[in-house]
Amino acid sequence: ARNHGGSTIRHSTLCTEPLDAEDADRLASGETYRLVTLPADPHVDREFASLLRNADETMAVTTVAPGADLDGLTVSDVDTTVVAIRSSNRPVDAIPGRGRELAAGDTLYVVGRPEVLRKVERRATTDTGRTDGGDDDGADTGGSDGEASRSSGAQSS
């Protein structure tokens, strides 16, 4: 372990994968590439799932249907945290930006309270004509189902 700028870097924490010159030549200069950091501990996903089991939030996956409330809106219009979007015509977008437009066929991976996730699923699958995220009784609660906003390490929508 080494101390670097106040942080401890352990050999088990980081791994650098070198890129051969031959592979580097195949990278298109006009393209944007994303550096992906994978955890050294293969059980981190299980730990995350365990933490969610002990929290009020849970994960859900839903697909945006053609003409549904969320079709054509952005991540910022979703009333919970969108952690990833899988589209048929592009790579998985992990922690998508708030301005990322949603389209029919997009699969959303979201984290939130069960009652909020049910509303997101309804908005992804039906056209109710309502895009404010309001309650079933039509009351507008500012798109947050009465919950106070909170910041987290993940992109929050």
Q: Is 141 within the bounds of a domain? A: no
Q: Is 3 within the bounds of a domain? A: no
For 36, 47, 105, 111, 138, the CA distances from 66, given in Å and listed in that order, are: 31, 35, 7, 23, 23
Q: Is 59 within the bounds of a domain? A: yes
Determine the structural domain holding residue 15 and report its residue range: 10-125
103 HSE (CA, 13 A, CB side):
7
* Of 60, 46, 154, nearest in space to 114 by CA: 60
The larger pLDDT score, comparing residue 16 to residue 57, is at: 57
Model confidence, pTM: 0.56
The larger pLDDT score, comparing residue 29 to residue 19, is at: 29
Q: Is 152 within the bounds of a domain? A: no
> What is the b/e burial string over 99-113, where b = at least 16 CB atoms within 10 angstroms of the residue's CB?
ebebbeebebbbbbe
Q: Is 85 within the bounds of a domain? A: yes
| Pairwise CA distance, residues 132 & 78, whole Å | 9
Range list of H helices, the chain: 21-25, 44-53, 114-125
Give the pLDDT score at 127: 86
| Pairwise CA distance, residues 120 & 107, whole Å | 12
Give the pLDDT score at 38: 62
pLDDT tens, position by position, 20-68: 777 777 777 777 766 666 666 777 778 877 887 788 888 899 999 999 9
CATH number of domain containing 40: 3.30.70.1450
Number of domains in the chain: 1
42 HSE (CA, 13 A, CB side):
0
Highest mean pLDDT among 34-43, 96-105, 123-132, 133-142: 96-105
Q: Is 139 within the bounds of a domain? A: no
Residue 73 has pLDDT above 90, yes or no: yes
Q: Is 146 within the bounds of a domain? A: no
The larger pLDDT score, comparing residue 12 to residue 138, is at: 12
Highest mean pLDDT among 44-48, 130-134, 137-141, 149-153: 44-48
Residues 94 and 37 sit within 8 Å (Cβ to Cβ): no
Q: Is 140 within the bounds of a domain? A: no
Residue 1 has pLDDT above 70, yes or no: no
| Pairwise CA distance, residues 122 & 62, whole Å | 9
